[in-house]
Amino acid sequence: MKNITYIFLVLTFLFTLACQPKEKNMDQTNLTKKHLAFIGTYTKKEGHVDGRGMGVGMYTTDADWTNWELKNSFSNIVNPSYICHSPNHPVIYAVREGSGGASSIIVLVYNPDDYSMKEIQSVSSFGSGSCYVSTDRAGKYLWAANYGSGNVIQYNINEDGTLTAGMTHQHEGTGPNKSRQEGPHAHFIDVHPFRPEVYAVNLGVDKVYQYLPTATGLEIIDSLSVMPGGGCRHLTWHPKGDHVYILNELSGAVELWEWHGTVKVRRQILALPAAGNEGYPGGAAIHITRDGRYIYASLRGVFNELVVLKTDPKTYEMEIIQRISAGGSAPRFMNLTPDENILTVALQDDDLILLFERDGETGMLSSDPEKVNAKSPVCVVYEEVGGKQN
């Protein structure tokens, strides 16, 4: 009788085990998940670009952010050269850079189930040549930088994702490069990684401005000046929050500043072009990993390179550890996927988006990226299944 009972228990256990879902199948299910990628493009020929893009494009990707598939595009917009994602709405904010006149900010709502997109609002950017938009972490404010008119503006974000304009702040001054710094040219504005301050970068006057966002607009707190003629364009903060890396477009150098409280000291200037190489470097984009170990920067002009930098954990200073071809012309934009396994590079003049695999331990980039065909791409943002954006 005991033997019969033992056999029965064994068979019951084996039957139960056989009915459990297999780990492999769970992995296969995960690999079929589709994330979303949105791109902003130039749609019209301008002095610096032969725009032929679709407007704002919406793609699906596999769970590892590869294998892009175009699902829809919103084409009733001129030169949406920069876009950002709402942190708490299915909304894309896009600049309408325009052509030779006033610009605007377009609010697009999308449906991730049927991939539809529609415009729900268009508001003035209170300037010309809008080139950058960003939001705070809570989705309370949106900021825009106007390159042509050299001012920045804050909008309040309403409960439905639409915008209410606040006050603008006009930058003033010139720089030593008479062809590019004849006046103020705001090129970037974004919030500190965890503090409330907002930072705007102005290429035309070689300055970075520090603001405090308020209910009525941006309140100026402080500013710093980069090397004269450097033409600061974008910046990225070390995740510990007290050191900032500022990319200069005109000189092709990255400046490391310690900036917190009353401390404001430049710690390093690192030239990105290789020694002996001359010509316009066109520093374009800069991003740092979440652990602060690696920085990625792009050069356009005569170089068209991606430069990988490693940071010192104690001094925060940079060293160049890799320099590779960008794979084409005008790598204006770069962004890391939410898992940081891929560096996304938009080649504005070669109608390509390249997906460079990244080694998380060494920081190095692969030399054989996946290619996504897209005309005049400028900007890429991601939405991960589950709501994470990058």
pLDDT (tens digit per residue) in 226-253 = 999 999 999 999 999 999 999 999 999 9
CA distance 334 to 14: 52
CATH of domain 33-383: 2.130.10.10
The residue-averaged pLDDT of 260-266 equals: 96
pLDDT at 27: 40
Answer yes or no: is pLDDT of 362 > 70: yes
Reported as a single tens digit per residue, the pLDDT across 207-216 is 999 999 999 8
Answer yes or no: is pLDDT of 17 > 50: no
Answer yes or no: is pLDDT of 5 > 60: no
Answer yes or no: is pLDDT of 329 > 50: yes
Name the residue among 153, 156, 119, 134 with its Cα closest to residue 85. 134
Residue in the structure block whose two tokens are 């299910």: 29
Q: What is the C-alpha R_g of the chain? A: 23
Residue in the structure block whose two tokens are 């490693």: 310
CA distance 224 to 201: 10
Answer yes or no: is pLDDT of 82 > 70: yes
pLDDT at 387: 53
Reported as a single tens digit per residue, the pLDDT across 268-310 is 999 999 988 889 999 999 999 999 999 999 999 999 999 999 9
pLDDT at 389: 63
